[in-house]
Structure 1
Amino acid sequence: MKTGIFLFVVTITVMISKFAVSQSAGPKLKVAHISILVHDYDQGLKYYTDVLGFEKKTDIKFGNERWITIAAPGEKGIEFVLVRAKDKEDSAIVGNQAGARTFAVLNTNDCKKVFADYKLKGIKVLTEPRETPWGVQAQFYDLYGNRFVLLEPNSISQNK
Structure 2
Amino acid sequence: MVQSLVHIALVVKDYDEAIDFYTNKLHFTLVEDTYQEEQDKRWVVVSPPGSSGTTILLARASKTEQEPFIGNQAGGRVFLFLGTDDFWRDYNEMNDLSIEFVRPPKEQDYGIVAVFKDLYGNLWDLVQFNENHPMFNRVK
> Structure 1 or 2: larger strand share?
2
Report 1:69-148 matches (<5 A).
Answer: 69-148=45-124
Q: In the alignment, which residue of structure 2 is the partner of 1:38?
A: 12
1:159 and 1:48 map into 2 onto residues whose CA distance is 23
Q: Stretches of 4+ moved more than 3 A in 1?
A: none
Whichever of the two has the greater Rg, that structure is 1
Among candidates 29, 39, 53, match of residue 3 of structure 2: 29
Structure 1 unmatched ranges of 5 or more: 1-26
CA separation in 1, counterparts of 2:108 and 2:76?
Answer: 20
Give 1:23's aligned residue.
none
Task: Tell me how many residue pairs correspond in the alignment.
Answer: 134
- Per-residue deviation, 1:45: 0.5
> Taking every aligned residue pair, what percent have the same amino acid on both sides?
32
The answer to which structure, 1 or 2, has the higher relative contact order (CA under 8 A, 6+ apart) is 2
- CA RMSD across the alignment: 1.4
Q: Distance in 1 between matches of 2:23 and 2:135?
A: 31
Query: 2:7 and 2:52 mapped to 1: Cα distance?
Result: 11
> Under a length normalisation based on structure 1, what TM-score does the superposition of the two structures give?
0.79
Task: Give how far 1:159 is off.
Answer: 6.9
Q: Aligned partners of 2:10 and 2:77: how far apart in 1?
A: 15
Alpha-carbon deviations, 1:90-141, whole Å to 9, x = none? Answer: 1110111111211111111111220110111111111122211110111101
